[in-house]
A and B are shown apart, each in its own frame.
Chain A
């Protein structure tokens, strides 16, 4: 069931005398397609609140039908309609196994979905959890579509999300511009999924097809990055840095003395990068040490079959491993070099941070700060050749000088689309802001250095 994996480390191990911070980029790659695909569970949760009425619900029906068509035979699936409560659309209870008949029946039911009522995302997630619990060994994936803000109190949603952590991956999609990016990001981030805006309802079908297709391509239900660090060392952070920035530091599950594991979620034939930063006690010049051992382990229990204190060389359940080292030197030519991958992703994280800060300042009405931070983002995106983010930024700011990062916030008046009404322009800017917010954490990769 497991694909062969590699774990590679890029770093400059040389530290100046007295230095304590060790940075490395860890690349985890599934190198093959592995064995037969794992059992899979796909749950599609469609917002049917009153605000979905009209074009949105029609597009949601269509998109759900398209996603169902993507499910390969034998996959367990269910469709849930959500408003102020969750209602199972198909099958009547539990899950169905995909085949020609069940797919057709499900699509029939989906076509009858009507928009009415409120939005209670927490209750939808709890319903999905009830189904996921019955498929502990499957690659479990949820597509959650909404168009509005959650009507539940924040703690209610938080508790629901927490109850689902580790049970399934959840990709969240917002249609239109009346939902909140931060709200859906909380859900998607905790459940190791993505958040994105589908501004135009007619684009939903293509997006759902891609999501369901990607879910079908996952064949490892859960991976963990297990870390050993030296006694006295501090893990400053562990961040996923490609394909998007996601801070995993707080997700650590301690697995023993000097050991902890970070959830990576389900995997298919893919490669992701992680930035690892560890503080160690400084060694004397000329000495060398291992500052981290990075192990990739599968399964729902990150401690695996190698609990604390067991012989790590036995390494049962370890799919791949690598080490991060440090060596103290007085040769400044060596210690002053920043590894190109570490440098690249440090820049990409700074870019994502500038976007988040800039949008928050814009929201708060602080145009000066917004233009300063978004200007910095424009400059960083250009410098790193991040074309997608550069384009997203141009929807939100007018770029006066890329090199210095001088920008002006776009308003209805200077929005470029001349043929649109003012209302359309305002909506268009809002959609661009939400797209930048949702996608601003995506990074571009650099090639492995020879």
Chain B
């Protein structure tokens, strides 16, 4: 049996043929799974009603974020995942989770989108990458959003975020929709010793993976006016945490060039600010009035 992530091509470092079932080169020790070219440095996806842009950034050697978006029938869905860099081959977890969650988001449901099942499917896909008990199994965060006639439904695990973007004085004001699952937040909620949280305040407390707690939080928004849903990894919001600031970058671009331009403007802003981390965003424009007219 070949372990998940095991290599089938020669080691890129020393050209040794891999040993069956082994994720490491038997001569030089190189991690062969991590070398697989399945995490592109730059991603752009433009669809009718949704766009996504991702970039490796200036510092990280690998893009461990993943994004999956699709528009189908009456619904637009987007999933953004951020591979946890302290775990092995986390880009594989991000990819698997994003794809699996998207499938469920677009499936048929009686009462609207089932975001919890989507997150569970993403978590199962990430956990299935390695045998049970593997140390530091591939793990990732996830934030997903579905826009259908009724509303925006958002679910998240970890510190990838969802924002509602709107201009100044909008009927539905710009704001952060998600609440990070981090040590700092857990300490504030009284569920974690503040002394422990202080050591790594930004450490996440929930994630998708073989050893993770993937219980999502869910929020539903029925916008009173136009704007856009933004899903992003911390590579963006660590530089631009404020919803109004994000809106100021994204909305002019959205008006001029649509969601792809808005997503590109946001990623460009993160790269200009430093690009220390992988950065991935998905933008879903929302026009409540027009939709009522349909």
- Contact surface of A with B, Cβ cutoff 8 Å: 9, 229-233, 258, 280, 284-291, 311-313, 323, 325, 329-331, 333-334
Contacts and interface: CB of A to CB of B under 8 A. Distances in A.
A287 B19 contact: no
B19 A289 contact: no
Contact of B19 (A9, A232, A311): A311
Interface string B101-112: 000000000000
Given A230-B29, A280-B29, A313-B19, A290 B24 contact: yes
B241 interface: no
Contacts of A230: 25, 27-29
Interface stretch (B56-64, B66-74, B157-165): B56-64
20 contacts: A9-B135, A230-B28, A258-B27, A284-B61, A286-B60, A286-B61, A287-B30, A287-B31, A287-B34, A289-B24, A289-B28, A289-B29, A289-B30, A311-B19, A312-B19, A312-B22, A312-B26, A313-B20, A331-B85, A333-B200
Given A289-B31, A311-B20, A312-B22, 16 more contacts: A229-B29, A230-B25, A230-B29, A231-B14, A286-B60, A288-B31, A289-B24, A289-B28, A290-B31, A313-B20, A313-B21, A323-B24, A325-B31, A325-B88, A333-B200, A334-B86
A231 B28 contact: yes
B131 to A, nearest CB: 14
Closest 8 CB pairs of A and B: A286-B61, A230-B29, A290-B24, A288-B31, A289-B29, A290-B29, A231-B27, A313-B21
Contacts of A311: 19-20
B280 to A, nearest CB: 17
Nearest to A288: B31
Nearest to B24: A290
Contacts of A325: 31, 88
| Dominant secondary structure of chain A at its interface with chain B | loop
Contacts of A287: 30-31, 34, 61
Contact of B22 (A229, A280, A284, A313): A313
Nearest to B14: A231
Nearest to B19: A313
A233 B25 CA distance: 14
A287 B34 CA distance: 8
Interface string B1-42: 000000000000010000111101111111100100000000
A229 B88 CA distance: 20
Given A312-B19, A312-B26, A330 B31 contact: no
A230 to B, nearest CB: 3
Nearest to B200: A333
B24 to A, nearest CB: 4
B85 to A, nearest CB: 8
A280 B25 CA distance: 14
A133 to B, nearest CB: 38
Nearest to A326: B29
Interface in B197-232: 200
Contacts of B31: 287-290, 325
A285 B61 contact: yes
Contacts of B59: 330
Contacts of B200: 333
A313 B1 CA distance: 11
A288 B88 contact: yes
- Among B27, B29, B61, the one with the most A-chain Cβ atoms within 10 Å of its Cβ is B29
A286 B27 contact: no
Contacts of A9: 135
Contacts of A232: 28
